[in-house]
Amino acid sequence: MSTSPRRRAFVSLGSNVGDREAQLRAAGERLAALPLTTILAVSAIYETAPLELTAQPLFLNQVACIETALAPFELLHHCQAIEAAAGRTRTVRFGPRTLDIDILLYEGVESNDPELILPHPRMWHRAFVLVPLAEIWSHAKGMPEVDVAGLAAALSGEQGVERRGAVRE
């Protein structure tokens, strides 16, 4: 396990199969239990329509800001283990899923590795990521200077994002 300095990261969580809220809650608990990791803030939960493959149930989405000493690939592998524990199967790209966890940004890191592209390549075009991210962007130490709130506002009208809960800090 890494002994690197603690850095901030933003991760998105989504679910559209089974008890969606319970899946997000359990994923948050598992993220909080990761070694060398602290959750700094969690956005409200939003209900959103699927984008790429539209013939599937609505998603619940949220974003968490964490501080971690896990290296980016270690964090990725932990996130994939959390997905697997939730019954995630990868049969159809952009298809229904019990749980999806994506690393959006990792402080001071850019990556073009096929396994982990950072910043997340599609995040700037997805209201279901940007709207919850904007809520907790005040924790964005060491992140790119981007008008997240402006991008979120522009996309939320087009893509339909409905708030279901409160921000936790």
Residue 157, SS3? helix
Residues 6+ apart with CB under 8 A from 80: 101
Instruction: Tell me if residue 102 is catalytic.
Output: yes
Instruction: Tell me if residue 88 is catalytic.
Output: yes
- Per the residue annotation, which of 7, 20, 97, 126 is the catalytic one? 97
- Per the residue annotation, which of 88, 93, 122, 163 is the catalytic one? 88
Instruction: Tell me if residue 97 is catalytic.
Output: yes
- Per the residue annotation, which of 7, 30, 102, 126 is the catalytic one? 102
Instruction: Tell me if residue 93 is catalytic.
Output: no
- Per the residue annotation, which of 100, 122, 126, 147 is the catalytic one? 100
* DSSP string computed for 8-73: EEEEEEEE-SSSHHHHHHHHHHHHHTSTTEEEEEEPPPEEE--SSS-SSPPEEEEEEEEEE-S-HH
Q: Give catalytic residue positions.
A: 88, 97, 100, 102
